[in-house]
Amino acid sequence: MRSLKDILSHLLDIPDERTTPERYHIVRRNIAILMLIITLVPLALMTVINYFEYQTALRNEILAPMRTLVNKAKYSFELFLAGRLSTVNFIASAYTYEELADEKNLNRIFRVLKKEFEGFVDLGLIDSRGTQVSYAGPYDLHGKNYVGQGWFEQVKVNGHYTSDVFLGYRRFPHVAIAVQHITDDGREWIVRATINTAKFDDLISSMNLDPESDAFLINQQGVFQTKSKFYGEVLDQSPLVLPKSFDPTVIEKKDPLGRDVFLAYSYFNRTDFIFVLIKPRSEVMKAWYTLRADLLVVFLIGLVAIIVVVLRLTDIMMKRMKESDDKRLLAMREMEHSHKLSSIGRLAAGVAHEVNNPLAIINEKAGLIKDLIEFATNFPDKEKFLNLVGAIIQSVERCRTITHRLLGFARRMDVEIQILDINDVIRETLGFLEKEALYKGVTINLNLDETLPRVPSDRGQLQQVFLNLLNNALAAMDKGGAVSISSFTRDDKMLGVTVEDTGQGMSEETLKHIFEPFFTTKKAGQGTGLGLSITYGIIKRLGGDIEVQSRLGEGTRFTVYIPKETPEQAGL
């Protein structure tokens, strides 16, 4: 029989030679098994030990279940509140201020929020001055200012805030959650949501208390946060005074009705709540007879919770591992791509220099022939030969232009910040694709702002960006169509360049993934899926941005924003 050590060693032995999907499956399975062993074995041991401990210590048998129940209920409440706080925090972080300030967009977010998470009543965006900028919900809170209110000051200091239960404008018990978000450039805003307390009642109801027992929430000022069976309504003052304890604590006393009860309570760690459980002493004694069933229920609940958590955690770990592997592969592919481009550049430079030498000789000899013909007095068919020589000189000039482009492409392999005319870079890049556009019958429309200022940037990097975008535009059209290239000034800090085609366009689902490495919509063997991800990386390193709009059957438009000043964060 294999020992536990051998089993663990086998589970930790992950074969590296397996294919990637199979390897992820093996890693996920082994980690899940290890975590289940580590968690379920202690849980099972604790269940057995508690069973025998209860037999020898009646008081512990009475108090431990109450402590456990209070702790579980407290955890459920904290988990619920933490989950809602994380959700609001995600919304504040995942969306820009402009997206949240858009009433239509905020309502869409709120609809999804209500659908996926129970209890949300409304959602609003508040600026740094405390003014309600946008609001989604059943009330008219637009323009309301919260400066001076306690919660607003707390969220400015702590970054987040969870209120006690209150009525407010809504006239029913609810809790407010607010999260502050600060961007890298110091811009800040607050996302505030309210949640009704029906979930609190559901959590308490799920405890299945007997008719003589009671459970409720109070705050640290002794105000009821949920309704009590025997002691008061929501927002009534509680008659209980409880010493502070963050661990589940059980005390024996007389309640306000004169009954002998066990009172179990625990202060919450991150909020102002106290969970209280009260059981009549006579009822608690019955727990001994149902102990074995209760232990089984607790064990099964723990088992299900652990399995769910373990599976969820392993899914997250595998996702992170896959993302890390993808980034590593992308870095390797980009390095390989850079080496290939460097080799092509050196080859292009060599070819250009070699071709330029005979071209210079041809140009010199053709010029000499032209001079001789022009100075000859009785040269037969003089005009015809002059035209032929002129055609030779024009062809030489055309070849010289091509070799200059090759040299420019070669020079772009060396990273160098220089003062550039963006329109010149666009025209240079377009020169490489004019023949392909002509072959496909694609019309190239240039709408360049000739008043654009010159900007400091990297010519080679920008050429690669424009080349990728133009290649994609041409690839999106089989025969015919048009590609429009425009340049413009966006604001004091950015220039803009748009590349728009009349091709087949992209779906919303495709748009979500186009900048991901290795994602491509081209046929097998026709694309690596790295063009747009590399383009995105280049623009970000240069301190700019890139946007895309597309609709199926209507075409696609890419907009590149280029900074007018050299960004400090550019990795050049």
In the chain, the domains with their CATH numbers are 64-271 (3.30.450.20), 329-411 (1.10.287.130), 417-563 (3.30.565.10)
Q: For residue 166, give the nearest of 85, 235, 88 by alpha carbon.
A: 235
Give CA–CA dist 228/208, Å, rounded: 15
Give CA–CA dist 189/155, Å, rounded: 10
Q: What angle do CA 11, 17, 23 make, to 5 degrees?
A: 50
**What's the token pair of residue 434?**
């004019």
Give residue-wise pLDDT tens across range 10-56: 555 555 544 456 777 777 777 778 777 777 777 778 777 776 676 56
- 220 burial class (0-12, 13-18, 19+ CB within 10 angstroms)? middle
Question: Can you list the positions of beta strands (E) in 490-554?
Answer: 494-501, 545-551
Half-sphere exposure for 127 (CA within 13 Å, toward CB): 12
Helix-helix angle 382-411:291-375, to 10 degrees: 150
pTM over 0.75? The answer is no
Backbone φ, ψ for residue 252 (5° rounding): -110, 130
> Which 3 state secondary structure label does DSSP give 46?
helix
Give residue-wise pLDDT tens across range 277-328: 988 877 766 655 566 677 777 778 877 888 888 888 888 887 887 777 777 7
Give CA–CA dist 106/553, Å, rounded: 29
In this prediction, residue 414 carries a pLDDT of: 47
Q: Report residue 463 CA to chain centroid gap.
A: 29
Query: What CA–CA distances, in Å, run from 511 to 103, 499, 505, 560?
Result: 23, 16, 10, 16
**Are 521 and 472 in contact, with CB atoms under 8 Å apart?**
no
Give CA–CA dist 175/219, Å, rounded: 12
Show Cβ contacts of residue 29 under 8 Å, excluding neighbours closer than 6 positions: none
What one-character DSSP code corresponds to residue 501?
A: E
Over 211-261, what HEC string results? CCCEEEEEECCCEECCCCCCCCCCCCECCCCCCCCCCCEEEEEECCCCCEE
How close are the terminal C-alpha atoms of the chain, in Å? 60
Find the helix or strand (DSSP H, E) in which 545 lies.
strand 545-551
Please say whether the dihedral angle defined by the alpha carbons of residues 363, 366, 372 and 373, taken in this order, is positive or negative.
negative
Amino acid code (one letter) for 61? E
Overall size of the chain counted in residues: 572
**What's the token pair of residue 293?**
């069933």
| Helix, strand, coil percentages, rounded to 5, for the chain | 50, 20, 30
| Sheet containing 273-280, strands listed edge to edge, beginning at the edge strand earlier in sequence | 214-219, 273-280, 260-267, 249-254
Give CA–CA dist 69/64, Å, rounded: 8
Q: What angle do CA 461, 462, 466 make, to 5 degrees?
A: 125
* pLDDT tens across the length of the chain (572 residues): 455 555 555 555 555 544 456 777 777 777 778 777 777 777 778 777 776 676 566 666 677 788 888 899 888 888 888 888 999 999 989 899 999 999 899 999 999 988 888 888 899 999 988 899 999 988 888 888 888 888 888 898 888 898 888 876 657 788 889 999 998 888 899 999 998 888 888 888 888 888 888 999 998 888 888 888 888 888 888 888 888 888 889 888 888 888 888 889 999 988 889 999 988 877 766 655 566 677 777 778 877 888 888 888 888 887 887 777 777 776 776 666 555 555 656 666 667 667 777 877 787 777 777 777 777 777 777 777 777 777 788 777 777 766 765 665 555 444 567 888 989 888 888 887 888 888 888 888 989 988 889 989 888 788 888 888 888 888 888 778 889 999 999 888 889 999 999 888 888 887 777 776 666 666 544 555 566 777 787 888 788 888 888 888 888 999 999 998 875 544 44
Give CA–CA dist 538/337, Å, rounded: 13
Q: What is the signed CA dihedral for 232, 234, 236, 238, rounded to 10 degrees?
A: 60
Give CA–CA dist 118/139, Å, rounded: 19
